[in-house]
Copies of this chain bind each other. A is one copy, B any other.
Amino acid sequence: MAGQSALTPLTMGKALTAGLRSAMARDDRVLIMGEDIGRLGGVFRITDGLQDEFGAGRVIDTPLAESGIVGTAVGLAYRGFRPVVEIQFDGFVYPAFDQIVCQVAKLHYRTRGQVRMPITIRIPWAGGVGAAEHHSESPEAYFVHTAGLRVVAVANPHDAYTMLQQAIACDDPVVFFEPKRLYHTKGEVDLAADIADAAPMGLARVAREGTDVTLVAYGAQVTTALDAAMAAEDDGISIEVIDLRSLSPVDYRTLSASVRKTGRMIVTHEAGGEAGVGAELIASITEQCFHHLEAAPVRVTGHDIPYPPAKLEKHHVPDLDRILDAVDRVLDRPNSLSEVAL
């Protein structure tokens, strides 16, 4: 697989398709299952063309039942396959929750390693696309809290391409979050990249270096975070943006190195804050870097509400302004909460 790099501009959607294709070509135990993924190519067209290429035996349109999809994937994994499951939208993963939490996550532990569950659960994810109810959910914290699963979220086409292949090749189950909001965003993808050489999916990435504040984001919020960093630069503030990539396990080495340098930390995500990924990152980093912290770490998250109607979502998904307000907070500059009791 190794060779010279071949950078190709691709949307994240097409990069995912390429990642699936290459995983399927490499290993004939890989198969894909989900609703509408065959003839239609999925509602987001991520599996477009794959049924023609690999046949209906490996690209399987299933009955409309998420527990059924994940439960049969468990059986296929028992038989030695590597199922890649597509959940049509984030909000439809809950009927499969029992199979994911009690079976997918626990079978390796239950059988003391005798049975492996190399299942990848792809979830088109999160908001900002003006969708109907249940089509903009951010359920990642549920899976991060579930031992036995690995959880990753991609933020650019190249990672989408490589990390999807790594997830599929991984012998553990991986919940793979794909930000819908970025499906049509283009970036350079090295289609010749050997996934063994690519950055392991467990590592965080410093997306932009900085010295004053560490800003941690994942998925589509990485873009917002980079925008915020650029805006802050005009104000003379240097923000280090970290793309978390792996939500579980977390690459605390990269995170704490950054916070030790900056002394200040902000986490942003779309999911509500309460017992979310941001809480985890802050609790752990506070433990690891307590004496380096010059201000309390701050979360900039969605409100703790059900995902709101589309016309109100811009007041829910954290934007550049809300991040910059948090930057002011950690730098002890005037900010929206200056007069509010915490």
* A interface residues, Cβ below 8 angstroms from B: 67, 91, 94-95, 97-98, 101-102, 105-106, 109-110, 133-134, 141-142, 144-145, 147-148, 248, 271-280, 282-284, 286-288, 290, 293, 295-299, 303-306, 342
Contacts and interface: CB of A to CB of B under 8 A. Distances in A.
Contact of A279 (B147, B283, B305, B342): B283
Nearest to A298: B287
A109 B342 contact: no
Copies in the complex: 2
Contact of A142 (B102, B145, B284, B288): B145
B109 A306 contact: yes
A98 B94 contact: yes
A147 B272 contact: yes
A102 B91 contact: yes
A182 B145 CA distance: 25
Contact of A274 (B105, B144, B303): B144
Contact of A304 (B110, B147, B296, B298): B147
A57 B57 CA distance: 49
Contacts of A280: 274-276, 279, 283
- Report, nearest first, the 4 A-B pairs whose CB atoms are least far apart: A290-B296, A94-B98, A97-B97, A282-B283
Given A102-B94, A282-B283, A283-B282, A288 B342 contact: yes
A145 B302 CA distance: 12
A251 to B, nearest CB: 14
Given A94-B102, A110-B133, A145 B286 contact: no
A271 B287 CA distance: 19
Contacts of A296: 286-287, 290
B272 A299 contact: no
A142 B342 CA distance: 25
A288 B329 CA distance: 13
A112 to B, nearest CB: 10
Contacts of A282: 279, 282-283, 286
Nearest to A134: B102
A299 B112 CA distance: 27
B145 A272 contact: yes
A76 to B, nearest CB: 21
Nearest to A144: B275
A309 to B, nearest CB: 9
Contacts of A288: 342
